[in-house]
């Protein structure tokens, strides 16, 4: 038997977007606890490829400007959306991955980093905090701003914010039996 609480937590995990954030700030101590959970993800050969860059307060403005400046053709509506979303968001966690080329294949390190993101996501279940993983194309253009070296990569941003009331949302999955053979 598994603990039903585990299933409840896993099945309650959901994406919540900046439009539902109230703009209030999450305490850094809470962010640190979430990151501690992220750091408990598994990785093959314990390469622990994940690392994080946190953007809050004025650093969100620097990030927004970097996104806009590295996309010279970005429209006015794109710029407006970025600033609006960032204002609603308390902290953006930039999800980064360091490759250990000679030790394990890339997919295993993307998988391990994704598991650290899942830990972030599960950490906020049943709390006043909402969030989601955003993987925009422009993340590829930010290496210089993020000071990433050639063996490092940005895998998007995890947006975190405080939510007054979670919108009702039921994104159902296809039946697991159709995805399983015994």
Ligand X SMILES: Cc1cc2nc3c(=O)[nH]c(=O)nc-3n(C[C@H](O)[C@H](O)[C@H](O)COP(=O)(O)O)c2cc1C
Stretch that binds ligand X, among 51-59, 87-95, 105-113, 131-139 (CB under 6 A): 131-139
DSSP E strands, 5-151: 50-56, 91-98, 129-134
Q: Measure CA 64 to chain center.
A: 16
Nearest-10 crossing angle of helices 28-38, 106-123: 140
When binding is defined by CB under 6 A, the residue of 134, 143, 145, 146 that contacts ligand X is 134
Q: Is 14 in the site for ligand X (CB under 6 A)?
A: yes
Q: Put the strands of the sheet holding 91-98 in their side by side order.
A: 50-56, 91-98, 152-162, 129-134
- Phi first, then psi: give them for residue 6, nearest 5 degrees: -60, -45
Q: Is 171 in the site for ligand X (CB under 6 A)?
A: yes
State the nearest-atom distance from the C-beta of 31 to ligand X, in Å: 20
120 burial class (0-12, 13-18, 19+ CB within 10 angstroms)?
buried
Q: Which residues contact 108 (CB under 8 A, 6 or more apart)?
A: 43, 44
Q: In the complex with ligand X, which residue's Cβ is closer, 14 or 79? A: 14
Q: In the complex with ligand X, which residue's Cβ is closer, 14 or 98? A: 14
State the nearest-atom distance from the C-beta of 132 to ligand X, in Å: 5
Q: Is 161 left (phi over 0), alpha (psi -120 to 50) or beta?
A: beta
Stretch that binds ligand X, among 54-62, 91-99, 130-138, 142-150 (CB under 6 A): 130-138
Q: In the complex with ligand X, which residue's Cβ is closer, 54 or 110? A: 110
Q: Is 135 in the site for ligand X (CB under 6 A)?
A: yes
Q: Is 176 in the site for ligand X (CB under 6 A)?
A: no
Q: Is 125 in the site for ligand X (CB under 6 A)?
A: no
Chain residues binding ligand X by CB under 6 A are 14-15, 132-136, 171
């Amino acid at each position: 038997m598994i603990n039903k609480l585990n299933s409840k937590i896993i099945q309650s995990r959901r994406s919540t977007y900046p439009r539902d954030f109230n703009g209030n700030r999450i305490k850094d101590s809470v962010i640190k606890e979430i990151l501690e959970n992220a750091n408990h993800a598994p990785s093959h050969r314990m390469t622990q490829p994940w690392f994080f860059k946190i953007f809050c307060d004025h650093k969100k403005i620097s990030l927004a400007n970097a996104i806009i400046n590295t996309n010279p053709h970005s429209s006015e509506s794109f710029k407006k959306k970025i600033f609006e979303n960032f204002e609603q968001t308390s902290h953006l966690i930039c999800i980064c991955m360091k490759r250990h080329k000679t030790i394990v294949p890339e997919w295993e390190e993307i998988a391990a980093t994704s598991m650290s993101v899942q830990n972030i996501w599960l950490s906020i279940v049943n709390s006043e905090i909402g969030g989601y993983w955003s993987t925009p194309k422009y993340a590829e253009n930010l290496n210089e701003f993020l000071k990433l070296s050639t063996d490092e990569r940005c895998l998007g941003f995890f947006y975190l914010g405080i939510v007054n009331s979670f919108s009702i949302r039921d994104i159902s999955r296809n039946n697991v039996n159709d995805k399983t053979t015994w």
